Amino acid sequence: MSQVVDQPQARVKEVCPCNGGKAYGQCCGLYHGGQAAPTPEALMRSRYSAFALENADYLLATWHRDYRPQTIEFAADTRWTGLEILQAGSDGDTGVVHFVATFNEAGEWLLLEEKSRFERLEDRWYYLAGETDFRPASVGRNDPCLCGSGKKSKKCCG
């Protein structure tokens, strides 16, 4: 069953938000357009991109029916800027992805660390739930800025 969902075209950037190193159309854009993510990691990356692009339809479509919320609301003052996959794998029809996502909320840099669980049903991966931890992000003056500009923190947002 194909799951085509609306893509927020106005927010789509050339480089995919998931930090996979590809253009959006060759990365998460494929999954947002209806192609099934082949692995739990690919699904997690595409869900992160959906959060960054505020694509609620895709998030709901890829959430396991037993855990899916009725709606998703995005905070107007939240901007997702980075994703790092720490560990990912699958065994049969179950999978896990451990990741850290960087975001800015109301001017404060934060990290979301999550160990996510996935299940494959009818050849499609679905997000079940995760163990999450939120904490302030720490960045030194000479470290790369968390906004993704490539500049040092002291010359950018720091």
Q: Compute and round to an integer the Cα radius of gyration of the chain.
A: 16
- Where does the pLDDT of residue 4 fall: very low under 50, low under 70, confident under 90, or very high at 90 and above? very low
Dist. CA 100–CA 114, nearest whole Å: 7
Per-residue pLDDT of 25-63, as tens digits, reads 999 999 999 999 999 999 999 999 999 999 999 999 999
The answer to whether residue 1 scores a pLDDT higher than 90 is: no
